[in-house]
Amino acid sequence: MRTRTLTLSAAVGTALLAVAALPTSASGTANPRSAQEGSVSAAALLAKVTSCSQISSGKYRTDEETSATVPVCGKNGAVFWKADMDIDCDGQVTSKCNGSTDPWFQDDTAFHQSNGQALRADSLPYVVVPSTSSIWKYTNSGIKGGGVVAVIYNGKVEYAVVGDTGPTQIIGEASYATASALGIDPDPETGGTDSGVTYILFKNSQVSPIESHSAAVSLGDSLARQFIQNN
């Protein structure tokens, strides 16, 4: 897996105004339930992404030292890529995600909770998308902050949200909580996996509030069933 740099993207956008306290189920503080999540199996989803219709202008590297081999692929209602998983621990400072546990830690994320705070990487499953470049502009594909992602690894499905943006030429990164739920070592410095992860991002989807994992699972399961039907 790649050696992370200090050039991970800064947060974008203006924080939302604070809102009334969220219920526990939507607070982003509860640990995600173990994959598999939803009613659609990993095998059923993977059967629909065996071939790639490339929509990116080029390909991405999975690590700083590797060659560019990963395209972004298009399907009806989704885009996908197959890569590694590096661990993003950025966002709220917690006992698991902080400057001591993560040498590249940043206390912000590109997208924010409904109360304006950064996301919490150790409890909220989220995925990192590459920042806009000549290779690919994620917003042009209907991908937005809070969009639903089906993350598939080792026969398991975990639903996450688009929560952060990363380097312009590297792909394959998700939060501590995403890795943990899939049985991947979530240590931000030494964890992750070198291959075998499929990310399916559903177009024009958005979880509200972004920090509600239960809402991501519910919407993700519905979109996954549509994806199976339409591809």
The whole-number average pLDDT for the span 147-154 is 98
pLDDT at residue 25, rounded to an integer: 35
pLDDT tens, 82-140?
Answer: 999 999 999 999 999 999 999 999 999 999 999 999 999 999 999 999 999 999 999 99
Is pLDDT above 80 for 171? yes
Is pLDDT above 80 for 29? no
Q: What are phi and psi of 130, to 5 degrees?
A: -65, 140
**Measured CA distances, 37 to 42, 153, 160, 207, 219 (Å):** 10, 12, 10, 16, 11
The pLDDT > 90 percentage for the chain reads 84
Report the number of secondary-structure helices (H) and strands (E) in the chain: 3, 7
Residue 86 in contact with residue 1, Cβ under 8 Å?
yes
What gap in Å lies between CA 113 and CA 111, rounded to an integer?
7
**Mean pLDDT of the chain, nearest integer:** 88
Question: At 178, is the secondary structure helix, strand, or coil?
Answer: helix
**Measured CA distances, 39 to 42, 114, 159, 206, 223 (Å):** 10, 28, 12, 20, 11
Q: For residue 208, count other CB atoms closer than 10 A to its CB.
A: 11
Residue 223 in contact with residue 159, Cβ under 8 Å?
no
**Which residue, chain included where needed, has tokens 């621990």?**
89
pLDDT tens, 33-57?
Answer: 556 799 999 999 999 999 999 999 9
The whole-number average pLDDT for the span 7-23 is 33
pLDDT at residue 2, rounded to an integer: 34
Question: At 86, is the secondary structure helix, strand, or coil?
Answer: strand
